[in-house]
Structure formats: C-alpha cells, structure tokens
Amino acid sequence: MAQRHMDRLSSFDTSFLANEKDNAHMAIGAVLVFDGPAPSEDEFLAQIRSRLHLLPRLRQRLLIPPLGLGTPFWVDDETFDVHRHLGHATLPAPGTDEELRALAGELYAPALDRGKPLWELTLVDGFAEERFAVVYKTHHAMADGISAVDIGMLLFDARREAPPPGEERPWRPRRSPSTPGLAVRAAAGVVATLRRMLHWLSGAAHDPGDASRRAGDGLAGLWEVTWNLFRAAPKVSINPPGIGPRRDLAWATFDLAEFKRIKNALGGTVNDVSLAVAAGALRAWFAETDGSFCRPQGDKRTRVPELKALVPVSIRTIDEHGELGNKLTAMRGPLPIGLADPVERLAVISAAMDGLKASKQPLGAEAIWGLNDWFRDFAPPVLLGPTAAINFSTRLFNLLVTNFPGPQIPFYALGRELTAIHPVGFLARRHGLAIAILSYNGRVSFGLLADPDSVPGVDRLAAHLDPAVAELGAAASGVVPPLASPGDGDQLAGDDRPRFARARERRAARRG
C-alpha cells in the first residue's frame, strides 16, 4: 500500500482540483464519534505519529509542473510537521450533537491548504456525556469514499486491547525535483504517452475485434453522457447561481438490518433503499420549505420534477484497498420526489439503477477520463477544465448522493470504541446540498452537508429521514402507509389517490 515517490495524479483526481473554485471546496471526510473519556492531545498525537509510516501519502504534498504541463505530482513534504494537521477543540456547553454539528460546519467551511499534505484531524472533547469525536477532512483529489475509510482503518485498531502507540518511525523526505528536473519529467511524459499509444495500436492490430468492441462501448457511453446534457436536471432552489462560504452539517443513523429487510421485501438493493429514503426526505422538505417548487397552472398543479442525483460507484478492487486516489465511476440516478407512494419511489429508483448499470453511461465517464489520462503527462490542466466542469454541472445532477460500505466490525482508538461514523461529502459549484451515506458495524449513517445560504434548515431535512425509513419499513411489513400528511398530495403532486390504489393492489398481489 506504499505510494511511490513522484506519483502523478490521474485526470479524474485532478478534476477535483480544477473544480475547486469560489466557495466550492472539494474536501470530504467524516465525523467519528467514540465512547469513553477523551484522550489527551499528547496521546492523540502519539497515536497518529506511530501510524504515519503506514500511509506515505499523508506526508506528501502537490507539486505543479512548470507551465502547467501535465497533472500535478505527489512529492514528499520536506517541511512536514504533523502538528499542522492535528487540531483540538472543546465544545461549548451543553456539549451535545448540536454543538458538534456547528463545530464540524466551521471546520469544513474553509478550503484545505494545497501547500501542505491535504488532510486534517481535529480532536473534539467537552461533551456532556463521556465521549469524544474526531473530525476528519481530506481532499477528494487524494481519496475517494473507500480509500477515506481505509485511512481510518489504518489509524485505528480492530481490537480494544491494542498495544500502546509505539515510537514514530524515522522518516527522511526525498528532495523535490528542481524546475529543470520537472521539465525533464514533462519531456519524458511525452515519450511515455507515445509508448502508450503504440502499445494500444499494437494491441488493436493483434485483436481488432476486441479493440472494436471497446471503442464501440466507449463511443456509446460518450453518446449517453452527451444525451444527458440535453436532458437537463430540473432547476431547483438547491442549485443556486453560487454557494456561500459557510457549511451546515446534520446526520441521522439507522439499523442496516432494517434496510436489508426492506430491500428483501420490496426489491432492489440496499443502495436503492438508501436513495429512496433520501427521495422521501427531500419530498417532505421541499413541501415545507420551497413554496415556489410547485406552481398552479389553471386548475392543475405542475408535477414535481424528478431530481437527478450523482451516484458515485466504486470500481476499486480488493487488492487496491489501502491505495489512495479515486477509483470511481459515476451514474446519474433519479430521485422521484413527485411520487407520494414510497414503494413506487423505490421501484422507480431500482428499475432506473438497474438500467444504468446495464447501460453504457459508466463506460462513457470512464472513456472521458481514460482519454484525458493518455495525455496527463504533458497536457496542461486547463484542458481538463471543460471536461471537469461538464461532469460537475447542474445540467447533469442536482445533488450528490454517495453511498459506500464501511467496516462491519467495531474499531477502536486508544481502547475507546468508535460508535458512529457520520460521512461528509462535497459541494460542487452551484450545488447547495450533498448527502453521503456510510454503513459501519451494523448501522447506516446519512451525513448531510449544506450551504445554509441556499439550503436553510438542513437539520429539518435530516429529521425527515426517520419518517422516510419508517414508511418503507411499514410497507415492507405489509402495512399500507397513509396516503400523505395533510395537504401533502395537493402541495406536491396533485391527487395521488389513484397511484396509491395501484400500489396497494400490487402489494396485495405480492402478499397473495
């Protein structure tokens, strides 16, 4: 899992740097909550220092080639000081989750300093109960959701009775190359690119059928991505012209077994159930906060549009765990908040996600970044800008909804159990809301990150997650949920009683 000196960012990794503009900061991470007394700052420091050798990237920074020729390099930070990455904060009284969420929002608001390694850990104490938290923050150019979990697994223990932190291993940074040295690397990159092209041409000549199939799949995928640009996501309030500098966080946690029970009874996957829960909460939140979302047209009302979610999917293999960088492809799935019946919402999402998995859309995204990677050794990053901007455009999606599996065994830090992981996504430009979902030790946590200037009351949105899970759970138990809360059908989608009748008939047929 050790990183080589002078690794180069992939085009996809670099896209997160290219999209970091204005108040859109591409940091991800988690709020980790532990039972037990908080360790001292010295204990926490010793724990981290003793593990730094396990992940060399934690002591590397970005180095931009001269004239922007090619994507940045990872190089050893010759001035690395772990104290610049570890913080400490004490919650104000009364020391509840409300104060923790406010503090986490302050910590996630600023961008990470690109002049040093792209991660931070903040130890948080001052809780009313005997517990503490660690707020973890890293740049998306360095880690995707899976590798961010891997970092936590390296820094913490799988056993409560782990040995005390050992001594920090000696580390001697390798000198960063000079400007002429980087220029030589850029020239070598041109040669490497030509070799890759010759290798591809040789492979295509050896097996033209395979090359033709690959090219066909890539072109079909590119067409699907292009077609989606013409089927723009709806214009809604969570996509403002620009987002503000502040951040609000909220979260809610559920039993993973309940999500599995729902998908076993109603169909789909755990990810489909998670998306359906998010859609149900968004439906209720829009109904109470956005009066302009549905406007009367004569004696009818405009049906609520189907929101589009960017749903990253990991393509990281088992032997790539522990490696950093992004191993992702993306799909753009529906959030049918216009449907009042939770079972129909799940059915629509499940069918759509099945269709997307069978489509060429993921191949299109891979083809775009694969083509860019061919020229990453010498093409200026400015050429990646248009591709990156398209992939994070509000024409393609309204919000990020990312769902990654975490470890299903308890983890510990200095003998204290990690009881909850609340994941934190990122806000791209003109995106005021992101929902990150992570399972850990039999629980599922929804972490909501919002720009309060465009998405006020994210805590209310989090509160709607509980009823969204409950209504799906009731349907999975064979209990027909109520049609809607008073006035909800009128506010959101006109008269949905015929739709509910059809859903009831389908559920009755399944039970029979």
Better-predicted residue by pLDDT, 462 or 370: 462
268: CATH: 3.30.559
Task: Note the pLDDT tens digit of each residue in 191-235.
Answer: 666 676 676 567 667 777 665 665 555 555 555 655 565 667 888
- Mean pLDDT computed over 406-414: 90
Residue 157 has pLDDT above 80, yes or no: yes
Task: Note the pLDDT tens digit of each residue in 79-136.
Answer: 999 999 999 999 999 999 999 999 999 999 999 999 999 999 999 999 999 999 999 9
Whether 272 maps to a domain, the answer reads: yes
Whether 139 maps to a domain, the answer reads: no
| Local structure of residue 410 (DSSP, 8 states) | -
User: How far is Cα of residue 351 from the mean position of the Cα atoms in its chain?
Assistant: 22
Q: Is 27 left (phi over 0), alpha (psi -120 to 50) or beta?
A: beta
Whether 353 maps to a domain, the answer reads: yes
Comparing CA positions, the residue from 498, 440, 448, 442 lying closest to residue 468 is 448
Backbone angles phi, psi at 154, to 5 degrees: -75, -35
Strands (E), 168-256: 248-255
Residue 342 has pLDDT above 70, yes or no: yes
Whether 336 maps to a domain, the answer reads: yes
Residue 345 has pLDDT above 60, yes or no: yes
Please give the residue range of the domain that contains residue 379: 229-400+446-511
Whether 391 maps to a domain, the answer reads: yes
Whether 393 maps to a domain, the answer reads: yes
| Local structure of residue 295 (DSSP, 8 states) | -
- Read off the pLDDT band of 379 (50, 70, 90): low
- Read off the pLDDT band of 332 (50, 70, 90): confident
Please give the pLDDT value at position 374. Answer: 53
Please give the pLDDT value at position 452. Answer: 96
Whether 15 maps to a domain, the answer reads: no
Residue 504 has pLDDT above 70, yes or no: no
Whether 58 maps to a domain, the answer reads: no
**Look-up: residue for tokens 């040789």?**
202
Better-predicted residue by pLDDT, 410 or 220: 410
CA dihedral 235→248→61→124, nearest 10 degrees, is -160
Strands (E), 224-306: 248-255, 296-297, 300-301
Q: Please state, in angstroms and rounded to a whole number, the distance separating the CA atoms of residues 355 and 366.
A: 18
Indicate the number of domains in the chain: 1
The token pair that represents 389 in the structure block: 């901007």
Q: Burial level of 6, CB count in 10 A (0-12/13-18/19+)?
A: middle
Task: Note the pLDDT tens digit of each residue in 167-201.
Answer: 889 999 998 887 777 767 766 666 666 676 676 56
Amino acid at site 225: V
Residue 511 has pLDDT above 50, yes or no: no
Residue 432 has pLDDT above 60, yes or no: yes
The token pair that represents 332 in the structure block: 């753009």
Q: Please state, in angstroms and rounded to a whole number, the distance separating the CA atoms of residues 116 and 76.
A: 10
